[in-house]
Structure 1
Amino acid sequence: MADRPLTMMAVHAHPDDEATGTGGVLARYAAEGIRTVLVTCTDGGCGDGPGGVKPGDPGHDPAAVAALRRRELEASCEILKVSHLELLEYADSGMMGWAANDAPGSFWRTPVAEGAARLAELLRQYRPDVVVTYDENGFYGHPDHIQANRITMAALELTGMTPKVYWTTAPRSAMQRFGEVMRELGADWEEPNPDSEQDPAKAAETPEMPEIGLPDEEITTWVDTTEFGGQKFDALAAHASQGENIFFLKMGKERFTELMGVETFVRVHDTTGAALPENDLFAGLR
């Protein structure tokens, strides 16, 4: 529509998620004059506190952590030139199995219908042409990421709106190299071995989390964001309080951009008929 700019909405779980998975596309599309809207669902209160104090440890104050992370999120958005930041401000649910999952006000225990209704208001307000969130497993099984997927898909159904919808992912072809770099940087990273044998009885007792990422041929959309690698790196660096957990920052900008210069997605809804694979989230819209 002539009276409304092309708009992308990214729905993320925590402060810093916007930079990790979509920092490149947020920066690229902002530079192309597209309106970018970031919805952050939780307050990030289960993140590290000052000095690296961990959730549940003495001195960890979730409210203070949330306030700090909000300032970091605002700084990240400024770096990425995000047009509009919307905060749902649910309590961070922590990792799967944490007591925080069931805490009053946590995003994970919030009824999907409630979260979807709030997000639907933002969808109606901004009327995005493109919506990006996580897949049904939240990419790596985090409860808040899973919930972000659930409320996004429910909100779209509630509004009846039909933007192009994408889920973030990673190509399996890149995971081995990524794992090598992570181990080099001191991360506890184990590469899955599809050839290894496992006792079926043991496997049934300890079901594995779905493998991260997708085979290359299942990825529909490959967006080159190399030109914006520096912005993406700086946006991640803005989340300094979580630096211990952001191994990417140890690479330095050049290596980071080389490894993270293409952002990949699965297109799960489209009415444009744009051919696949595509290299632009807005293919068929302009």
Structure 2
Amino acid sequence: MTDEALRLMAVHAHPDDESSKGAGMMARYASEGHRVQVVTCTGGERGDILNPKLADDPEILRDMPGYRRREMAAAAAALGIEHVWLGFVDSGLPQGDPLPPLPEGSFAAEPMEVTVGALVRQVRTFKPHVMTCYDENGGYPHPDHIRSHRIAVAAYEAAADPEAYPEAGEPWAVQKLYYDVSFSVDRIMALHEAMLGRELVSPFAEWIERRGDWPQRNPTARIVCSDYFPQRDDALRAHATQIDPDGFFFQIPRDLEAQVWPFEQFELAKARVPVADGMEDDLFAGVVPEGLALDEAAP
């Protein structure tokens, strides 16, 4: 780990996504003095209340968008990170066969140049050395997750191009882009088997039975962050409308998780700096603190 204060940007679709994907890594880097910024693409306006204890809460029912904004602020404080809203409207999760069209004006229905331009402006403002986002499947096939992936990859390229989005600020070359691999098959199987080994009921049993052809990713980085599981859990609890404190996320004993899977995994997607062979233990490995000259950023 370098002694320089470096910058990492994590691009997420909805408030609460940041707390279930890469939160331990972000809390660790923030605690070590680096700047970490979450960009949330939508306000989660079309999200349901997933915590049964709050199903009839009048404040939430009256103002779900405002409530989720306050949840996000509390989660960011728990992780010690910075946060910005990209400003788009939740697309919702279409249901049916055939699927209905996306709501007009929603994030995934906006023109790509609009959504990419908004993220390019934020990249050029914050100037991250490293970005993280979802893989090409969105982590799971929610239209906002897939769009978040697409704009993150496009912004990684466009932010360094002086001819792209000139109104969005001076060009900045992000040096590495990673996909989050939080919900890997390996992780789920390791925790499942450890739960059974302690003669505990695994929350993953049903998922394993119906997983089908769940795509297997190839992580290239493992960031040890078990010391920051408490901050991650506080951030999850902050999203009270979405996370049941007695539910899935909290059914694994934390000492078992720290023993079996004390890290979070990422897959390197793009890099403008040399990357060593083997599994990385630091997403900032190899970055140039002062940034790259534009001629160094060329493909």
- Of the structure 1 ranges 84-93 and 229-238, higher mean CA displacement relative to structure 2 is found in 84-93
Q: Does structure 1 conserve the Cα–Cα contact (< 8 Å) formed by 2:191 and 2:260?
A: yes
Distance apart, 1:66 and its partner CA: 1.8
Q: Number of aligned pairs? A: 262
- Of the structure 1 ranges 231-240 and 114-123, higher mean CA displacement relative to structure 2 is found in 231-240
Q: Does structure 2 conserve the Cα–Cα contact (< 8 Å) formed by 1:233 and 1:256?
A: no
Distance 2:159 2:255 in 1: 42
**What is the TM-score of this pair, normalised by structure 2?**
0.76
CA shift in 2, pair 1:114/1:61, >3 Å: farther
Distance 1:267 1:226 in 2: 21
Alignment match, 1:87? 85
SS of the residue aligned with 2:131?
A: strand
- Of the structure 1 ranges 41-50 and 67-76, higher mean CA displacement relative to structure 2 is found in 41-50
* CA RMSD, Structure 1 to Structure 2 (Å): 3.2
Structure 2: any 5+ residue segments left out of the alignment? 161-172, 290-299
AA partner of residue 227 (structure 1): D
Q: Does structure 2 conserve the Cα–Cα contact (< 8 Å) formed by 1:176 and 1:191?
A: no
Alignment match, 2:295? none
Q: Does structure 1 conserve the Cα–Cα contact (< 8 Å) formed by 2:72 and 2:238?
A: yes
Q: Deviations over 1:126-168 (max 9, x none)?
A: 1100000000100121211111011111112222224210001
SS of the residue aligned with 2:37?
A: strand
Q: Does structure 1 conserve the Cα–Cα contact (< 8 Å) formed by 2:50 and 2:243?
A: no
Distance 1:147 1:283 in 2: 28
Q: Deviations over 1:198-246 (max 9, x none)?
A: xxxxxxxxxx7x62442xxx21111111111111111111111112496
AA partner of residue 164 (structure 1): K
The answer to whether the aligner puts 1:75 opposite 2:68 as a matched pair is no
Alignment match, 2:114? 114
Distance apart, 1:49 and its partner CA: 3.2
Alignment match, 1:205? none
Q: Deviations over 1:91-119 (max 9, x none)?
A: 22222447786112211111221110000
Q: Does structure 1 conserve the Cα–Cα contact (< 8 Å) formed by 2:180 and 2:267?
A: yes
CA shift in 2, pair 1:78/1:147, >3 Å: same
Alignment match, 1:223? 223
- 1:93-108 counterparts in 2 under 5 A? 93-97=91-95, 102-108=102-108
AA partner of residue 15 (structure 2): P
Distance 1:251 1:102 in 2: 36
**What is the TM-score of this pair, normalised by structure 1?**
0.80
Q: Does structure 1 conserve the Cα–Cα contact (< 8 Å) formed by 2:223 and 2:281?
A: yes
Q: Does structure 1 conserve the Cα–Cα contact (< 8 Å) formed by 2:192 and 2:203?
A: no
Instruction: Give every structure 1 segment of 4 or more consecutive aligned residues whose post-TM-superposition deviation is greater than 4 Å.
Output: 59-63, 98-101, 178-183, 255-260
Distance apart, 1:258 and its partner CA: 4.7
CA shift in 2, pair 1:141/1:60, >3 Å: farther
- Of the structure 1 ranges 256-265 and 137-146, higher mean CA displacement relative to structure 2 is found in 256-265
- 1:77-226 counterparts in 2 under 5 A? 77-82=76-81, 84-97=82-95, 102-160=102-160, 161-169=173-181, 170-178=183-191, 184-185=202-203, 188-191=206-209, 211-214=214-217, 218-226=218-226
Distance apart, 1:5 and its partner CA: 4.0
Structure 1: any 5+ residue segments left out of the alignment? 194-207
**Identity of paired residues, percent?**
33
Q: Does structure 1 conserve the Cα–Cα contact (< 8 Å) formed by 2:138 and 2:145?
A: yes
CA shift in 2, pair 1:54/1:232, >3 Å: closer
Q: Does structure 2 conserve the Cα–Cα contact (< 8 Å) formed by 1:46 and 1:94?
A: yes
Q: Does structure 1 conserve the Cα–Cα contact (< 8 Å) formed by 2:9 and 2:130?
A: yes
- Of the structure 1 ranges 86-95 and 22-31, higher mean CA displacement relative to structure 2 is found in 86-95
SS of the residue aligned with 2:38?
A: strand
Distance apart, 1:60 and its partner CA: 11
